[in-house]
Structure 1
């Protein structure tokens, strides 16, 4: 039996970005009544139009969750994007409410027991400690046999009360939160039991020897001690103790398993309750301390046990849950999140941490972007960190001027370094995900909650700020590029209309390259100006360097010829190739009768009595 998330039945579908179903469980197939379709596309297999419409809105990025009523019951749909995949979860609202009520009841029960035990422990521990002291004095002058027994029992009683106090009131020890190597601590705890492992096979796999977590180290070490101790005691006739640790993008995962007697199915739900034990001489505080320690350090515990086959404890220290006290690059993250801590304060204080997390994601999944930056830190500190800082300052009141100023700075700088605008969009769109991760972390780590209206109001505000920046960035990027292009065009314009005088009142205009409307207008303006300036009477226009001629190009040339004629200058057109002539015939283009044509420049010069 699996304790924890398996108590809730939910539908699950993994989708490709185009909506193709890659895998799903039977619950979602029954719930949505998916019909068969050759393409295996989710939208084609769903009959419910309301679900189709809302799913489409989620795929468009307008939302990531919605509720739908089916068969007189409410269902909650949640979409989560995982790199290039989309995960769709479907929950029954009534089942969720029932599960929450049960969990709240268990929590209240454990809290009541804890308060009671704290009072007992506090009142009883002090006199027991005093009795122990007097017995130590008596031990110096009397027969020690019975006194030793009394001391042993008192030691046991004090140990029980200390354990009870640590479970009922964990803050009693006031242990500080630190970052430490959990792999090293786990191996050290395992070494403490080496003399008790002679009849047990140990299967130890530590994949991530440098795995770090942030929490109360002694509390977590004691939890390891209790789990390993219980596992050994459950295998009195021998067996296998399995200890595994690995780290991935989600966090650090630890499994401690045994092949011992296991836990009966009807007793499994009581696991972790103070004083509950399956051992005859057990105190029932070891596993309770484990659950309590994991809860205090934002870790998750899952228990899988089969009677006669053994028990497995899986501990998960997620990266998001460790953020409240994460130490990274010398910067300590906000360690205390209270109801008075605002989201804006949290984002601004921890902008550096989340920016580094985003940078790590870019290096792992979009490394091609970093090749465009000589200084990789420039990508980090001048891309995402300022965006998160500005977002934090704008959550209460949008700082439009600050957003625009920074967008102008970034947009202009990226345009100057010729950084592709599509990659800039990728950077900012990926930062949107890390920003929402930060917001999610705040609400996980604080006692703050949002109702549906507040959530959507926050979603609109955050995404509007990001969109405003991206739009402004794009505008300034394009503005700089347009100004640069305009400057280049003006330079090219000066060089591309060389009206060259070759004799008195005779000039030549060689045209090279494609001629569009803009360039034709510039050629006309410059040519008319130069013809008037040089007082030319004959102008030879050579188009042998023009690769393509169509109706538009010819029309532009005719306008030039007519303009020149008004200035008293006649025109000879040269350089029409056989291919261009054929194209002009196909297009039905006719040469004006007033325009003389020659096959090449040499023929035109001969016609004007020029010799070699």
Structure 2
């Protein structure tokens, strides 16, 4: 069997470039843009070595890492997983055809049992590679989702410093329970990092202020107060004020202003044609 493995190895080595080219030309795997043809050729080489028992342990590790690298590349560009599975299916078919060709044309007397053993080994290998591929694809996708969530988290509640120790938190769009939690946690972190003494929360871009939104605003104000930060809420439109009164929300303990411009001006800021300046007087923060 050892001599037949060597003969099969020689057969595959002569055909390795053709196998790689056929694989790439018949599957969407070539569209990655991140993985190179060299990587696919290395994967083909590793499979050939394992199949014919040429340094199988060393090549097994290399092939698994190659499968994981392909998975990471695919996940980064968000390639559909079914495309990669189709690629492995075609890869399997190409190798099976090569085993059959070798068995039929070899000068060695290849029995059906020996051809079956090679095919069985190939299938077990590819099943493991596919499992590792999908596992790495999932891990990479999850990491990307976490990174995207963190980016969304930062953009959902951006505290904008407008001078030393003074920041503005403009809230725009609807606020649900999840975003409200993000606003509270992110705002507190940013306020601490910026060493703020004053925070202006503008809600003129929030279409609806219900009990939940009001409660979260109270939590932000109370939490920033514990950090020694004075917080002022601006942009409460007339229709929002009416809603607040109707549902019985008490804003009496929170500093509010009609607009951000008014709130800033009362703290020594003056706004001219979109520019913010600070008056040099005793009221300046």
What range describes the TM-score normalised by the shorter chain of this pair? 0.5 to 0.7
By how many angstroms is 1:563 displaced? 1.3
> Against the structure 1 CA distance between its residues 507 and 548, is the aligned structure 2 distance closer, same or farther, given a 3 Å change threshold?
same
Select the residue among 261, 267, 270 that pairs with 1:602: 261
Select the residue among 487, 495, 498 that pairs with 2:159: 498
The Cα RMSD (Å) is 5.2
| Residues 318-357 of structure 1 aligned to structure 2 (within 5 Å) | 341-342=3-4, 346=8, 349-351=11-13, 353=15, 356-357=18-19
1:573 aligns with 2:233: yes
- Kept after mapping to 2: 8 A contact 1:513/1:546: yes
Select the residue among 92, 116, 119 that pairs with 1:432: 92
By how many angstroms is 1:432 displaced? 2.0
1:465 aligns with 2:147: no
Q: Which structure is higher in helix share?
A: 2
- 1:381 aligns to what? 41
Deviations 1:397-437 (A, max 9, x none): 79653333333444455567x47363444322321222222
- Kept after mapping to 2: 8 A contact 1:493/1:522: no
Cα distance in 1 between the residues matched to 2:206 and 2:120: 53
By how many angstroms is 1:392 displaced? 4.1
* Structure having the higher Rg: 1
Count how many residue pairs are aligned between Structure 1 and Structure 2.
Answer: 260
Cα distance in 2 between the residues matched to 1:361 and 1:399: 20
- Kept after mapping to 2: 8 A contact 1:498/1:509: yes
By how many angstroms is 1:609 displaced? 7.2
Select the residue among 104, 108, 111 that pairs with 1:448: 111
- Kept after mapping to 2: 8 A contact 1:561/1:595: yes
- 2:201 aligns to what? 541
By how many angstroms is 1:568 displaced? 4.1
Cα distance in 2 between the residues matched to 1:434 and 1:410: 19
- 1:527 aligns to what? 190
TM normalised by structure 2 equals 0.59
Deviations 1:497-518 (A, max 9, x none): 4342558x75422356888568
> Against the structure 1 CA distance between its residues 393 and 561, is the aligned structure 2 distance closer, same or farther, given a 3 Å change threshold?
farther
- Structure showing greater relative contact order (alpha-carbon pairs closer than 8 Å, 6 or more residues apart): 2
Cα distance in 2 between the residues matched to 1:523 and 1:433: 52
By how many angstroms is 1:370 displaced? 3.8
Cα distance in 2 between the residues matched to 1:391 and 1:507: 64
- Kept after mapping to 2: 8 A contact 1:384/1:431: no
> Against the structure 1 CA distance between its residues 344 and 404, is the aligned structure 2 distance closer, same or farther, given a 3 Å change threshold?
farther
> Against the structure 1 CA distance between its residues 523 and 373, is the aligned structure 2 distance closer, same or farther, given a 3 Å change threshold?
closer
Deviations 1:107-152 (A, max 9, x none): xxxxxxxxxxxxxxxxxxxxxxxxxxxxxxxxxxxxxxxxxxxxxx
1:509 aligns with 2:169: yes
Q: SS of 1:447's equivalent?
A: coil
Q: Which structure is higher in strand share?
A: 1
Cα distance in 2 between the residues matched to 1:465 and 1:608: 70
By how many angstroms is 1:525 displaced? 3.9
> Against the structure 1 CA distance between its residues 442 and 576, is the aligned structure 2 distance closer, same or farther, given a 3 Å change threshold?
farther
Cα distance in 2 between the residues matched to 1:550 and 1:444: 77
> Against the structure 1 CA distance between its residues 525 and 404, is the aligned structure 2 distance closer, same or farther, given a 3 Å change threshold?
farther
TM normalised by structure 1 equals 0.33
> Against the structure 1 CA distance between its residues 440 and 374, is the aligned structure 2 distance closer, same or farther, given a 3 Å change threshold?
same
By how many angstroms is 1:345 displaced? 5.6
> Against the structure 1 CA distance between its residues 378 and 558, is the aligned structure 2 distance closer, same or farther, given a 3 Å change threshold?
farther
> Against the structure 1 CA distance between its residues 398 and 499, is the aligned structure 2 distance closer, same or farther, given a 3 Å change threshold?
same
- Kept after mapping to 1: 8 A contact 2:237/2:258: yes
- Kept after mapping to 1: 8 A contact 2:99/2:119: no
Cα distance in 2 between the residues matched to 1:529 and 1:484: 27
- 2:63 aligns to what? 403
